[in-house]
Structure 1
């Protein structure tokens, strides 16, 4: 009798959590854009509630991912666990940069003639894009490691 989820089940759960992150970012961006459209009379209480809910969702996802990473490392699947850990770290940085970007974008709306804010927005967008590329590279490595260790059918979604 199995003592817990199989490695394949854990990888599939991780993939589902990554998909949930993508959807959560989409909701976050849509909510932020709605908030910005309210300028200059922002509805901060609604936006604050959105940020709270999004933060809680990301916190729950991160907690689940950390549990998967620890489980894999305990099963001597360090390569897979390490890749997931690298993705987790990049996701944390991406969230921090996203918060900074939203602040910079609001500054750009509030002060449209200040070039510094526009430059900051451009820089942050590039940093987020680079982070997403790194996440995608780690996801490809994870897929490769999964295929390397198991049959293709076991690791496909």
Structure 2
């Protein structure tokens, strides 16, 4: 479970270079991955009865707050890149990452709900669970591709 949101990196949007802004995006993205891992562990603890419903709810609230903070920071960076550097291509890449991450979060929640209903409810949603898992895998692949593109942008600025 997350300790608290204070562990999130505070980004100073007064950083001067496009390179620094892109490095900040990568760092924030790494933090988002860590939050997802915590979210998945909380869900596993909940379905194995190690967490109560209240524990899981608290975890979800913390995850939601962490995601909001990261989303806002990355959105601000995209705006800065667009406005200050007039680099719509890079800003668009970051916006694509954000949209994919929003979809991934919605899909993760849908997967968890369907999975839980299949495990403990009176409905067999195994086909829906499989479809949700495939959708998550596709989104993760797309996010990884965008991250590679952002890394390429960073590399081109370093050279």
Q: TM-score, normalised by structure 2?
A: 0.85
Residue 36 of structure 2 aligns to a residue in which SS?
Answer: helix
| Equivalent position of 1:126 in the other structure | 134
Which deviations, in whole Å up to 9, do the C-alpha atoms of 1:6-30 show, x marking residues without a partner?
1111111100011001100000000
RMSD of equivalent CA atoms: 1.8
Q: Could you say which structure has the larger radius of gyration?
A: 1
Which deviations, in whole Å up to 9, do the C-alpha atoms of 1:97-151 show, x marking residues without a partner?
0011110111111147x44x11111100100110111111111222223333x12
| Equivalent position of 1:151 in the other structure | 158
Q: Structure 2 matches for 1:136-147, cutoff 5 A?
A: 136-147=144-155
Distance 1:76 1:146 in 2: 17
Unaligned runs of 5+ in 2: 1-12
Higher mean alpha-carbon deviation, 64-73 vs 132-141, is at 132-141
| Equivalent position of 2:49 in the other structure | 38
1:48 aligns with 2:57: yes
Q: TM-score, normalised by structure 1?
A: 0.86
Q: Is the 8 A contact 2:23 2:154 kept in 1?
A: no
Residue 14 of structure 2 aligns to a residue in which SS?
Answer: coil
Unaligned runs of 5+ in 1: 153-157
User: Would you say how many aligned residue pairs link Structure 1 and Structure 2?
Assistant: 145
Distance 2:76 2:107 in 1: 24
Residue 148 of structure 2 aligns to a residue in which SS?
Answer: helix
Distance 1:125 1:104 in 2: 10
Q: Is the 8 A contact 2:28 2:70 kept in 1?
A: yes
